[in-house]
A and B are shown apart, each in its own frame.
Chain A
Amino acid sequence: SVLLYQKPNRDICQSGTSLKIQCVADSQVVSMFWYQQFQEQSLMLMATANEGSEATYESGFTKDKFPISRPNLTFSTLTVNNARPGDSSIYFCSSRQGGANTEVFFGKGTRLTVV
């Protein structure tokens, strides 16, 4: 398994500001994924981040709004730019270790509230 540590656990920020969320894995992983979860809703994949290359974003998510860095095989950051109340949700980083059909592990999430 892979252990993923996120910080902060939660944050409150003002509209228009930016927030950075960090994710650290306890071992090297090829791909890291970022998911968004609104309250009482499902998890939506935002982007896939591989070391040394630009993140691949899913429909509805852009690098201008949610830039992601992946400087090495154990670390990734997600930034929420120009935060709006509609961005208030939980953000999870995730990864897998092993082949294509192995399970994906999740960090504990960052609960963001934009006021």
Chain B
Amino acid sequence: GDSVTQTEGLVTVTEGLPVKLNCTYQTTYLTIAFFWYVQYLNEAPQVLLRSSTDNKRTEHQGFHATLHKSSSSFHLQKSSAQLSDSALYYCALKAGGADRLTFGKGTQLIIQP
């Protein structure tokens, strides 16, 4: 079956420094869509980024990610972290024609002053 791996459970970054959250996946499907979701405390997950195009950079709210099918990765990056970025981040895979999303285990991002 499909799987999504987020290697870091917790990432702590000082405000103003760059952020990178890793995400890799495994699937046998060629047609895929990838999402980054952000979940603030006591809130619902909401989409931050999405992509289904290989090697195309996607940006939103200062974050960016590029789907690399050659390395099965969709890492999330930001050049300068803000305190308000502190949240739980999930990457999620939608493979083939299935409706289901396969989520990674999530990475808790803490931005410290």
Q: How far is the CB of A50 from chain B (nearest CB, A)?
A: 9
User: A105 contacts which chain B residues (CB < 8 A)?
Assistant: 46-47
B78 proximal to A (CB < 8 A): no
For B95-113 the 0/1 string (1 means CB < 8 A from A) is 0010111011110000000
The size of the chain A interface, using a CB distance under 8 A, is: 20
Query: Are B44 and A33 in touch, CB under 8 angstroms?
Result: no
Query: Are B105 and A104 in touch, CB under 8 angstroms?
Result: no
Q: Contacting A107 at CB < 8 Å: which of B44, B52, B103, B105?
A: B44
Query: Are A109 and B52 in touch, CB under 8 angstroms?
Result: no
Query: Are B35 and A103 in touch, CB under 8 angstroms?
Result: yes
In whole angstroms, how far apart are the Cα atoms of A33 and B103 in the complex? 14
Which chain B residue has the least Cβ–Cβ distance from A1? B47
Which chain B residue has the least Cβ–Cβ distance from A101? B33
In whole angstroms, how far apart are the Cα atoms of A7 and B99 in the complex? 24
A41 proximal to B (CB < 8 A): yes
Within 8 A of B (CB), among A36-54: 41-45, 48
In whole angstroms, how far apart are the Cα atoms of A48 and B46 in the complex? 19
Within 8 A of A (CB), among B82-104: 90, 94, 97, 99-101, 103-104
A106 proximal to B (CB < 8 A): yes
Q: How far is the CB of A70 from chain B (nearest CB, A)?
A: 14
B64 proximal to A (CB < 8 A): no
B binding-site residues for A, Cβ under 8 Å: 33, 35, 43-47, 50, 52, 90, 94, 97, 99-101, 103-106
A binding-site residues for B, Cβ under 8 Å: 31, 33, 41-45, 48, 58, 92, 96, 100-101, 103-109
